Amino acid sequence: MGTDLHELLRSLRVWDPEVTELPPFDPAAAPAEPLALFTSWFAEVVAAGELEPHTMTLSTADEDGLPDARIVMLHGADEHGWSFATHATSRKGRQLDARPFAALTFYWPALGRQVRLRGPVSIAPAAEARADLHARSTG
């Protein structure tokens, strides 16, 4: 018949120390504002060769309050927050319009790290959104 999913899952190693050493992290020592830590970690993961470290899971809620998630690309981060793009008429655009809150999750296996963020979402000014669209790589 087919592959036994449970057996396959049990055969996989979890955080194999021969492949990835989990870095220590003390939440009490983390800065109050996360941007500096994120920027430092992002530079580390780029240097470590992580493939597409700017991909993140965007989590929203639908009209019934059920969670929804998809992968999007980080376009930037600054003192105003983290930015990504979507069409206002897309499913995620409609969900964010109805419930303007989201969660972002980055997973970087090369360093054994994940970053989780959550909070309110706002629409960028039109000129800023157009400039970002024109600056994006078509590759």
Domain that holds residue 102: 30-135
For 9, phi then psi, to 5°, come to: -65, -40
* pLDDT tens, position by position, 40-74: 999 999 999 999 999 999 999 999 999 999 999 99
Whether 85 maps to a domain, the answer reads: yes
pLDDT digits (tens, 9 = 90+) for 72-131: 999 999 999 999 988 889 999 999 999 999 999 999 998 989 999 999 999 888 777 777
The pTM of the full predicted model, rounded to 2 decimals, is 0.85
- Do the domain assignments include residue 112? yes
CATH code at position 62: 2.30.110.10
- Both structure tokens of 96: 């964010």
Closest CA to 121 of 135, 89, 88, 137: 88
Segment 12-37, tens digit of pLDDT: 887 777 777 788 889 898 888 899 99
Q: Does 23 map to a domain?
A: no
Number of structural domains (the chain) is 1
